[in-house]
Amino acid sequence: VGVHTRAPGPPGLLGVRPGLPGLQPQGPMPPRRPDSSDDRYIMTKHAAIYPSEEELQSIQKIVSITERALKLVSDIITDQEHDKEDDKEKKEPAKDRVLKGVMRVGVLAKGLLLRGDKNVNLVLLCSDKPTESLLACIVEHLPKQLT
């Protein structure tokens, strides 16, 4: 009859078996290693392509103004829709807003703007499939709200 030896238990975190002396980390974590030349190169490149705080603030301001203007256009269109429904003797229940909201997409939404980027994308969410007449209405009212 042979003697069977067992391992002291299943492996723990990082494959280290609990209870085995000498394999557990001792003392505080080692200090952070100094930046390598690759690290410095990457940080220099990042500083060169990342927009300045002024650029970020100006884009944020323009986007906020545009979002607010689109909200006002949505209010105008909703008021016009309610006026039309009042003329129809309120036979149908009031519809939701035609323009549901604005969504930031692309590099703006992901925070991946680069220095010198002047164009960002916004998507206008509609309750129904957009029509040419809706687009014409937005084009008519938006410039007035942006001023």
Q: Render pLDDT for 49-95 as a digit per residue (tens, 0 to 9).
A: 999 999 999 999 999 999 999 999 999 999 988 777 666 655 555 56
List the chain domain ranges. 47-146
H/E element, 140: helix 132-146
**What average pLDDT does the structure give for the chain?**
83
Under CATH, to which class is 47-146 assigned?
alpha beta
Q: Render pLDDT for 90-122 as a digit per residue (tens, 0 to 9).
A: 555 556 889 999 999 999 999 999 999 999 999
**pTM, whole model, 2 decimals?**
0.68
Q: In angstroms, rounded to a whole number, what is the distance separating the alpha carbons of residues 108 and 11?
A: 45
Long-range CB contacts for residues 101-107, cutoff 8 Å, separation at least 24: 101/125, 102/66, 102/67, 102/70, 102/71, 104/63
Pairing mode, strands 99-105 and 121-126: antiparallel
Cβ atoms 12, 23 nearer than 8 A: no
